[in-house]
Amino acid sequence: MYPVVEWKNNKVYMIDQRLLPLEEKIIEHSDYRQVARSIKDMVVRGAPAIGVSAAMGIALGVMAIKPDGNLEADFKEITATLSATRPTAVNLFWAVERMKKVFHLWKQDLALLKQKMKEEAIAIDKEDVEINRQIGANGQALLKSGQTILTHCNAGALATAGYGTALGVIRAAIENNKDIRVVADETRPYLQGARLTVWELQQDNIPVTLITDNMAGYIMAQGRIDGVIVGADRIAGNGDTANKIGTYSAAILANYHKIPFYVAAPVSTIDFTLESGKEIPIEERDKEEVIYFMKQRTARPETEVFNPAFDVTPHHLITAIITEKKVLYPDFKKAIDSLRQ
Ligand code: MRU
């Protein structure tokens, strides 16, 4: 099995997702700055996996703090560096907050603090797999044998600590003996669908058909899609959902064709502080991602480019949000409020 992100012998290991599916290379991280770079450069990506990586990065950073150092200042630097990597996936900030709590509980004893930080990061990793299995168990009840499900980007094992959110629902349905087929959007410009979703489903022998993003409407109009399931990077208090660019278009198409549109995500992806999706910060990435296709330039270098990495699907286009606690239905504001602790 490939390590999406793994803690081993006080080092962090990640499969380099930039190279998949052409090359399977594992990168070793012994420094928190290196982990931050890997998040920023998309060695690891996907909201829950980013959260786990940030927690492990913080643990690595704290383990390197010297007894004669300035503990508070060093910790601030570590958390600030990891927080500055990617702005949209709220799981990153959720994980940083969780690590901060542990830091403040144990900071009086450096040796114990190091142990506790490491334990917390490993716990976040383990919990994520269990959460995804629960999302799968809750979501699979919505699927019927014989259905074909369209997904966008990669919300699978590669985007989490394992099993996946959107793909976790599909895995769980198949484990329940349902015959499910997947249609994967290619997901331009970064090709998470073609490179990652197709690769991981093929590894599990789950039937998958790849389409380019602009084919989704046609295949829906033909009646060949029974449902859409996507992941999420941040869900606002009213259910508006930020996910990979192109998700909004898929939701509009699903709505037009009266196909259910599901979001599968852990409660840690809900940002209870935001009233609506308008407040979600949307990452803009380098223009190179758009003017190159698999390292081949497809437009002149001086071309003006707009490259938002995410879009926001308004809550009224979403049929249900599948979480580990329960499946949420409209009114999403009320349903999300019921999850507040
Ligand atoms: O830019 P990425 O690859 O990190 O974007 C990932 C997505 O948009 C996923 O759908 C989302 O993080 C959910 S992953 C379970």
Q: What's the pLDDT tens digit per position in 300-324?
A: 999 999 999 999 999 999 999 999 9
pLDDT digits (tens, 9 = 90+) for 80-110: 999 999 999 999 999 999 999 999 999 999 9
Q: How far, in Å, is the centroid of ligand 1 from the Cα of 254?
A: 20
102 and 154, same structural domain?
no
Confidence check: pLDDT of 211 > 80: yes
Residue 2: predicted pLDDT: 81
Confidence check: pLDDT of 192 > 80: yes
To the nearest whole percent, how much of the chain has pLDDT over 70?
99
pLDDT digits (tens, 9 = 90+) for 7-16: 999 999 999 9
Residue 87: predicted pLDDT: 98
Averaged pLDDT, 261-266:
98
The SS3 assignment for 60 reads helix
pLDDT digits (tens, 9 = 90+) for 270-284: 999 999 999 999 999
202 and 81, same structural domain?
no
**Substitution candidate for ligand 1 out of 17, 92, 154, 200 with most atoms within 8 A of CB:** 154
Number of domains comprising the chain: 2
DSSP letter assigned to residue 292: E
Secondary structure percentages of the chain, helix, strand, coil, to 5: 45, 15, 40
- For ligand 1, whether the C-beta of 47 sits within 6 Å is yes
The band of 69, judged by pLDDT with boundaries at 50, 70 and 90, is confident
Q: How far, in Å, is the centroid of ligand 1 from the Cα of 164?
A: 11
Confidence check: pLDDT of 1 > 80: no
- Of the three residues 116, 133, 150, the one that is the final residue of a domain is 133
Residue 278 to residue 213: CA distance in whole angstroms: 24
Residue 294: predicted pLDDT: 81
- Of the three residues 133, 155, 181, the one that is the final residue of a domain is 133
225 and 90, same structural domain?
no
59 and 184, same structural domain?
no
Confidence check: pLDDT of 299 > 80: yes
Which CATH number do you get for residue 66? 1.20.120.420
Residue 330: predicted pLDDT: 98
Residue 228: predicted pLDDT: 99
178 and 320, same structural domain?
yes
Residue 295: predicted pLDDT: 86
- Of the three residues 102, 133, 164, the one that is the final residue of a domain is 133
What domain range includes position 68? 5-133
Residue 22: predicted pLDDT: 95
Closest CA to 158 of 196, 128, 209, 208: 196
Which CATH number do you get for residue 306? 3.40.50.10470
For tokens 């699978």, the residue is: 156
Q: How far, in Å, is the centroid of ligand 1 from the Cα of 245?
A: 10
306 and 181, same structural domain?
yes
CB atoms under 10 Å from CB of 137, counted, come to 16
- The residues with which 244 forms a beta bridge, in sequence order, are 310
Confidence check: pLDDT of 175 > 80: yes
Residue 279: predicted pLDDT: 98
106 and 85, same structural domain?
yes
Read off the pTM.
Answer: 0.97
Residues serving a catalytic function are 233
Report the largest interatomic distance among the alpha carbons of the chain, rounded to a whole angstrom: 68
91 and 158, same structural domain?
no
Averaged pLDDT, 125-129:
98
153 and 266, same structural domain?
yes
331 and 224, same structural domain?
yes
Average pLDDT taken over every residue of the chain: 97
- For ligand 1, whether the C-beta of 90 sits within 6 Å is no
- For ligand 1, whether the C-beta of 268 sits within 6 Å is no
pLDDT digits (tens, 9 = 90+) for 232-244: 999 999 999 999 9
Here the tokens at position 8 are 């081993």
pLDDT digits (tens, 9 = 90+) for 44-68: 999 999 999 999 999 999 999 999 9
Closest CA to 138 of 107, 116, 166, 117: 166
